Amino acid sequence: MTPPTAPLLQVDGLSVEYVLPATRAFGHKRVMRAVDEVSFSVARGTSFGIVGESGSGKSTTAAAIMRLVAIASGRILFDGERLDALGGEALRRFRRRLQIVLQDPYSSLNPRARVAEIIREPLDIQEIGTRGERRARTDELLALVGLRPEAGRAFPHQFSGGQRQRIGIARALATNPELVVCDEPVSALDVAIQAQVLNLLKRLQRERGLTFVFISHDLGVVHYMCDQVGVMYLGRLVEIAPAKRLFSRPLHPYTKALLAARPSIHARDRVSKAAGAIAIGDPPSPTEIRSGCRFAGRCSAAQAICRREAPLLEPKDEQHEVACHFATP
Amino acid sequence: MTVRSQGPQSPLAEAWAIFRRNRPALLGLALLVLIVAMTLVGPTLYGVDPLDIVSAPLLPPGDADAPLGTDYLGRDLLAGIISGGRASLAVGLSAALLTMGLGVTVGALAGFYGGWIDRLLMRTTEFFQVLPPLILAMTIVLLFRPSLATVAVSIGLVSWPTPARLTRAEFLRIRELDYVRAARAMGARNRRIIWRLILPNAAPPLIVAATLTIGAAILFEGGLSFLGLGDSNAVSWGLIMGMNRPYIFEAWWATTFPGIVLFATVLAVSLIGDGLNDALNPRQRER
């Protein structure tokens, strides 16, 4: 039995590798580490945000937690259970406890199914309840996400992006999961609609005590939604801190660069840009990672050691972890 | 985002609405209904045995006994065309069914599972694709006794690679879509993903392919029968044409009329196929 203070989700040294096709005939296949030794934990009822550029491995991390991609190494503990070690029917049954909300509200709903069928699908797959109970639950879920009961008879293409994302959220909540992984849930939506969907997610979290892993490239969204935030760069977590702390006092040069690159209308934010917290050039291809700190090539504070030794993610104090040889406030 | 508030309309209802506005497709449908009706009720309305010798051989059309004339043995051509449709359509339909059954199964397995299953099945498909279909079909028919069944099987065995490749491509595309990922995250078994998610969404191009395959199979059967490799006991359009081929200069009608009906049938099926393509093609529906 786990004590009540134990985290709901604990990711420990998680790595995911993709095998790339050989560039030459009969050449060696290359392995790309999309996620490299990622560790973090999420307390029950809280939101953990993962931010990073595209290609940083944040969505792959989400897929690994959902057991949608093969895990190369590391452990995933869900409520004390080894989620990474589950397989077959045990994993299939376990899936009701964690669900995912996907980015694209257009491709994430089966175009040939009616909305009620889509929302009911997890219940059908997990064989939860009788036919009547499933129907009642579907109506309940529609109401929960602010859709009218008639919506159940319609097809996805009859809805707007925001409404479709509500359908996706209703589907994710059907089995009453404890953990919901939100993989860029609003980045495909109009800004005005984003706020509505974010507020819906926040309300649902409050009412049902949900735990979120929230993937986004949008710092503002993460700041608004999350209690704890991890910053990913080229497959590694480079900094973890409470959201307020991370946004007010970032320690890692990459986090600083990210925050500085945020478009802002406030003059004081522009000052920090001038302070040199800018990443130089583009991120290297994840297939061409050399030794040392992955950010060294773009870092304005890089020293010789940064190119030799990769810094480990280490706690600076009880709240703040950072992977940098020269982390300064 | 203007017409979204209309009542629930299924993709099928929408497809029918588009098909209904397609004149060539409707013409094809009408033509096919006419031809099918002819082969079904024709023999009872026009009660002449197609194998009976009713008159002098090679009688031109317009004769009182034989409206479309007679063949080289003096058999009624109209009776032959009417009852020959049954064999042609039956072989065409069953060959198309076999083609699609084999092709969809192979393509679905290859596209869904990938890896060595895909490589094995695709190499097999390519092996069949590099052989000339007519020669291969002739060989298969000759290995067994020519009959309607062996003709249908041989057509199926040489035609399945095309739908197999199409199905594989659709499966490769759809299996990576987010709604399939979501179903996996819910714990859906492969069987459910294949039957409930991928296959219905892959259906539109497959339905079109199936329709066009029927036309191709009818034509193929005609070709085999024309070459004398059909079932010589079952009258079919191809058989009539093949039998009367030596007399084409003396009696053009004996090869031309069955040819016209065969042509009309394949045309009708192709028009329907094109209409279905327009109606079911999702890219055109997203206006």
pLDDT digits (tens, 9 = 90+) for A125-176: 999 989 999 999 999 999 999 899 888 888 888 898 889 999 999 999 999 9
Task: Report yes or no: A84 and A74 within 8 Å, Cβ to Cβ.
Answer: yes
Q: pLDDT band at A265, cuts 50/70/90?
A: low
B145-173: pLDDT as tens digits: 788 888 888 888 889 999 999 999 999 99
**Residue A42 domain flag:** yes
Tokens 């192709």 -> residue: B270
State mean pLDDT over B232-244. Answer: 82
In this complex, how many residue pairs, one in chain A and one in chain B, have their CB atoms less than 8 Å apart? 70
Q: Check CB contact under 8 Å for B186 and A110.
A: no
Q: Which residue of B1, B9, B11 is in closest CB contact with A111?
A: B11
Q: Average the pLDDT over A53-70 and give the result.
A: 91
> What CA–CA distance (Å, rounded) separates B8 from B14?
10
| Residue A294: band (very low, low, confident or very high) from pLDDT cuts 50, 70, 90 | confident
**How close, in Å, is residue A236 to chain B by CA atoms?**
24
CB contact under 8 A, A112 and B185: no
Q: Do residue B11 and residue A155 have CB atoms under 8 angstroms apart?
A: yes
Spatial separation of the C-alpha atoms in residues B250 and B3, rounded to whole Å: 64
- Asked whether the predicted pLDDT for residue B85 surpasses 70, the reply is yes
Lowest mean pLDDT among A256-270, B188-202, B221-235: A256-270
SS (H, E, C) chain B: CCCCCCCCCCHHHHHHHHHHCCHHHHHHHHHHHHHHHHHHHHHHHCCCCCCCECCCCCCCCCCCCCCCCECCCCEEHHHHHHHHHHHHHHHHHHHHHHHHHHHHHHHHHHHHHCHHHHHHHHHHHHHHHHCCHHHHHHHHHHHCCCCHHHHHHHHHHHHCHHHHHHHHHHHHHHHCCHHHHHHHHCCCCHHHHHHHHHHHHHHHHHHHHHHHHHHHHHHHHHHHHHCCCCCCCCCCHHHHHHHHHHHCCCCHHHHHHHHHHHHHHHHHHHHHHHHHHHHHCHHHHCC
pLDDT in tens, A80-114: 889 999 988 999 999 999 999 998 888 899 988 88
With a cut of 70, say whether residue A274 has pLDDT above it: no
* Tens digits of residue pLDDT in B124-148: 999 988 888 888 888 888 888 788 8
In a domain, A3, yes or no: no
**Is 80 exceeded by the pLDDT of residue B38?**
yes
pLDDT score of B287: 37
In a domain, B62, yes or no: no
Number of domains forming the structure of chain B: 1
Instruction: Kindly report the backbone phi and psi dihedral angles of residue B115, in degrees, each rounded to the nearest multiple of 5, phi listed first.
Output: 60, -140
Q: Say yes or no for a CB contact (<8 Å) between A155 and B201.
A: no
| pLDDT band, residue B57 (cuts 50/70/90) | confident
Judge: B282–A111 Cβ closer than 8 Å, yes or no: yes
Domain of B158 in residue numbering reads as: 32-38+76-280
Is the ipTM beyond the 0.90 threshold? no
Q: How sure is the predictor about B4, in pLDDT bands with cuts at 50, 70 and 90?
A: very low
Residue B285 lies in a domain: no
Check B182 against A168: CB less than 8 A apart: yes
Closest-CA residue in chain B for A124? B188
Taking an 8 Å cut-off on Cβ atoms, the answer to whether B185 and A110 are in contact is: no
Integer Cα distance of B138 and B143 in angstroms:
9
Q: What is the pLDDT of residue A226?
A: 93
Chain A residues touching B9 at Cβ < 8 A: 155, 158
- B171 within domain boundaries: yes
Q: Determine, yes or no, domain membership for A65.
A: yes
B106 within domain boundaries: yes
Of A289 and B134, which is predicted with more confidence?
A: B134
Compute the mean pLDDT over every residue in chain A, rounded to the nearest whole number.
86
Q: Are B112 and B198 in contact (CB under 8 A)?
A: yes
Neighbours of A236 (CB within 10 A): 25
Residue B189 with chain A: CB contacts under 8 Å:
92, 125
Q: Which of A114, A125, A159 to mutate to test the interface with B (most CBs of B within 10 A)?
A: A125
Would B46 be classed as within a structural domain? no
User: CATH code at B144?
Assistant: 1.10.3720.10
Interface test with B, best of A59, A92, A112 (most B CBs within 10 A): A112
Least reliable range by pLDDT among A35-44, A104-113, A232-241, B40-49: B40-49
Summarize pLDDT for B8-25 with one digit per residue, the tens. Answer: 567 778 888 888 888 888
CA–CA gap between residue B186 and residue B188 (Å, rounded)? 6
pLDDT of residue A139: 92
What percentage of chain A carries pLDDT values higher than 70? 89
Structurally, chain A folds into a number of domains equal to 1
For position A102, what pLDDT does the model report? 92
Tell whether A230 lies on the interface with B, counting CB pairs under 8 A.
no
**B186 contact residues in A (CB cutoff 8 A):** 95, 99, 121-122, 125-126, 175
Per-residue confidence (pLDDT) for residue B68, from 0 to 100: 77
Predicted TM-score (pTM) of the model is 0.82
pLDDT at B190: 92
Do the bridges between strand A81-82 and strand A321-322 make them parallel or antiparallel, or are there none, so unpaired?
unpaired
Q: Do B182 and A102 touch (CB under 8 A)?
A: yes
Length of chain A: 329
**Distance from C-alpha of B136 to C-alpha of B161, rounded to nearest angstrom:** 13
Range of the domain at A216: 9-322
Answer yes or no: do A110 and B197 touch at CB < 8 A: yes
Residue A288 lies in a domain: yes
Instruction: Identify the residue among A121, A126, A164, A183 best suited for mutation to test binding to B, counting B beta carbons within 10 A and taking the highest.
Output: A121
> Which pLDDT does position B149 carry in this prediction?
85
- CB A107 to CB B4 under 8 A? no
Whether residue B187 and residue A99 make contact (CB cut-off 8 A), yes or no, is: no
pLDDT at A142: 93
Please give the residue of chain A at the shortest CA–CA distance from B174.
A107
Tell me the mean pLDDT in the region A285-305: 76
> Which CA distances in Å does A265 have to A223, A268, A270, A271?
17, 9, 8, 12
Q: Do B186 and A121 touch (CB under 8 A)?
A: yes
The CATH number assigned to the domain holding A198 equals 3.40.50.300
